Amino acid sequence: MPLAAPESHPAHSGSSTRKALLQVALAWVALLLGMALYWALLHQSQLGQLANAEAQTRLRAAQAAHALALQTGTQFHKLDYLARHLGEHWLEPDSHGFAHAIAVARTALPDGALVQVAIADRDGQIVYSNLATEPPANGAPMRISIADREHFRAHLDGAPPRLFISQPVFGRISQQWTVQFSRPLHDSGDFCGVIVLSMSAHYLSAALRDIFPGSGDVAFVVRDDGAYLARSHLLAQVLGSAVPPSRPFVVDPAARSGFYEARASIDETERHYAWHRVADYPVVVSLGLDRERALGPVRSALQDGRQQSLIGSALLLLAAGAITWLWLVQVRQAAVLSTTSERLDLALRGGNLGTWDWDCVTNACRFNQRWADMLAYRDAPPPNLETWVRHVHPDDFPRVRALLQAHIDGAVDQYEAEYRMQRCDGSQIWVLDRGRAMQRRPDGSVLRMVGTLLDVSARVAETQLRRALLDQSAAAIAVVSRDRKVLEVNQRAREIFLRPGEDAAALDMRRLHLSDAHYGTMLQHYRSLYANGSVRFEYPLVDVHGSQRWFDLHAVLRDPDSPASEIVWTLVDISEKHHAEAALATERLRLTALIERFPGGVLMEDASGVVAMANQRLCELLDLPDTPETLVGLDHRAFSARLGGDSRSTWLQLSADGKGAEKRRSVEIRHSNGRELEIDWLTIERNGTALGHVWLLRDITERKQHEAHLATLAATDALTGLPNRRSFMAGLDAVIADSHHHRGRSSALLMLDIDHFKRVNDTYGHAIGDFVLQHVAQVIRHELRHHDSAGRLGGEEFAILLRGVDADGALALAERLRTTLAQTPAISNAGAIRVTTSIGLAMLDGDNAARLLRHADEALYEAKGQGRNRVCVWPL
């Protein structure tokens, strides 16, 4: 097609960028390797320079130590000569010659060097000292002994004559620190004493200090065993001490010289040490050069060299970085241009976009191949502006032209229109047309416009179908953005929430809520929606008329994989259901309040046997630890189990068919807590359908106790507390009836009458008579067995029923009772009243009660006839 614009091909910008980055990386690797090599060579060179400086330092120290050793040896030879010379003069008889020799010796040495010349005899007693103010006669002792000093003891036991050098000692005569140089004295080959030259330790050190005046370098003289003799500095702190035993000249006595490095504990200075032994004498001279001071200039020079190299390296890296950055900017700009071209081409291809380019001056238009394919162009004439006008649907053209003119006039930044176009094959498509003015004259008129054309027929068809489906739904449906802006609603939502003609996009969501606070509570549902992908709840909203309605709201994300997706809300109006539930809840509250105020317990189950309601009084009557709320929801079996098993919940059991064939039932039970309960059971029905059951529980304990009390009063003699005649006769009838079923079980009846009771009444009065009757009743109760029973038949007459005894046993019990009564007087206000009784006994033989009573009565009268206070047995 002649007017179709050529299509571009994607550039390989990605590979070009990677290649450029690889080149930069390689260049930087080469640069860094070169710099690393340079710094390695620099480091090696400086290490060599430092090692050479250290070697020179050691050499200088060794040379100085050797020179000092020679100088010290010369000095010691001089002292040895003086000691021999003075010793010879001492042995001569001319004492003036010895004194003159001492004077000559003192002039041969610097002032203060020779502190003392002393002579000790063979026993170590000082016989001469030039420090003595009044020297004794030749050979007389001075009462000072050096026999314990090493410089005397070294010459004993036939030791060869030689100069001995002692450790510094504090002189007993000189009161100074001195080094003792001693030689033995022999007269005709016999040991006769020792001559001692005491040399000032400070003099020996001063010579060293003159050579090394600074405190950094140090020289010292020690014996072979490490004991200090002299030190150029800090002498006072080392006198009387020794160097560490690890020093090489102490460890290896055969070595003549050597080196070592150490940090002196006395001043914490690290030094290079060189040492040398003094020829012919057991002495070592050592020289220590301050390591920092000796190597400081070299290290400073090396540090300056490293700093200069570092600055040069940094400048080189900065220059390389700047060059790299400029080059990468250029490469990146080229890549951006290439990428932009690729993206534009991909966008056009991937989006199936047709492109157009309109020259507004000549009205010439250029379209790409995709534009032509959308309109089904094959061998038709090349398209132009008039072609486009002809293909726009006539009904849409005025609107499209107005939108295009608005952009040309500058009213809008971009032209955009969605409209229908006729294809060459007669079919119709929907397109989205976008464009923008690329060139304008100074007066604002457009020179050139470019744009794209997209086939949106499928989307439009989908939208129309979705709209048709949404509008047929009975539920209100709304599509809302993440920031709670309404994007789309169906017809049902419009009817409920929008005024006629109102745009959904202009709807303020706050208008649908009861208040701003109510609007804010929706945030928690939105959080749940974003967390779970959906949410459902019931919520009140305000409709277009301002009325409150309840809705069942269901929300889902339109795109579950995108947190920024729109939200689709489905709203089902449940106002009627909610009102019904609210009314039901109100009635339930009323019923609950009524049940709570009911004087008895209430239990209600629904048709499925689940507890629907209970009150606190029920829990109290049944001694349940539960609250009514915890009972609600239990099924029939579970609630029965709460009562403690079948024995306590028999009243709760329904009829066998499980539906309660009976409509109403009442039972009375005794609960394990002792309460007497009356329980009414009712079936709740509606139109013949069972809806559940109700149990009404009332506490009738007091009523039962009152009834029992009345029964007891009716069956008990009020004076004695024993059963009255009617109650006793009822018990007798029961025993007689039981004897018919148990033939082997025998019983007996006693008739007891108080002897001369009328005399008691006449003598003491009726009150005392009543007291006597009570006394007799108390003794009877006390003497009877627990299964026997007694009763007052009237007046002073009593009856006693003995169970499970034969005739002999019954007679023995009767005699014991008579004897006890006779021996137990009634103690009253009138004094002790002796009571005797007459007793008639009749064995139970299956007769009726009247006959048995008559037999016992006959035996009683027989006892009275025989003189009273006795027991008679029937038959007589």
Strand 837-843, strand 871-874: pairing: parallel
What type of residue sits at position 467? R
Q: Strand order of the sheet with strand 534-542?
A: 486-489, 476-480, 567-573, 548-557, 534-542
Eight-state DSSP code of residue 558: S
> Residue 126 pairs with which residues in a beta bridge?
120
Cα 538 to Cα 215: distance, rounded to the nearest angstrom: 96
378: left (phi over 0), alpha (psi -120 to 50) or beta: alpha
Closest C-alpha to 173, from 146, 150, 148, 193? 146
- Say if residues 463 and 447 touch (Cβ distance below 8 Å): no
* 85-91 CB contacts, 8 Å cutoff, 24+ apart: 86/117, 86/195, 86/197, 87/183, 87/185, 87/195, 90/119, 90/128, 90/185, 90/195, 91/185, 91/187, 91/192
- Say if residues 127 and 136 touch (Cβ distance below 8 Å): yes
Q: Give the DSSP per-residue string, 218-234.
A: EEEEEETT-BEEEESS-
Helices (H) and strands (E) in the chain — how many of each? 22, 33
Look at the block and give the residue holding tokens 């709201």.
553
Strand 364-367, strand 415-422: pairing: unpaired
- In the three-class reduction of DSSP (H, G, I as helix; E, B as strand; rest coil), residue 681 is classed as strand
Q: Where are the beta strands (DSSP E) in 531-615?
A: 534-542, 548-557, 567-573, 601-606, 611-614
Task: Report the catalytic residues.
Answer: 796
What type of residue sits at position 449? M
792: left (phi over 0), alpha (psi -120 to 50) or beta: beta
Cα 512 to Cα 480: distance, rounded to the nearest angstrom: 14
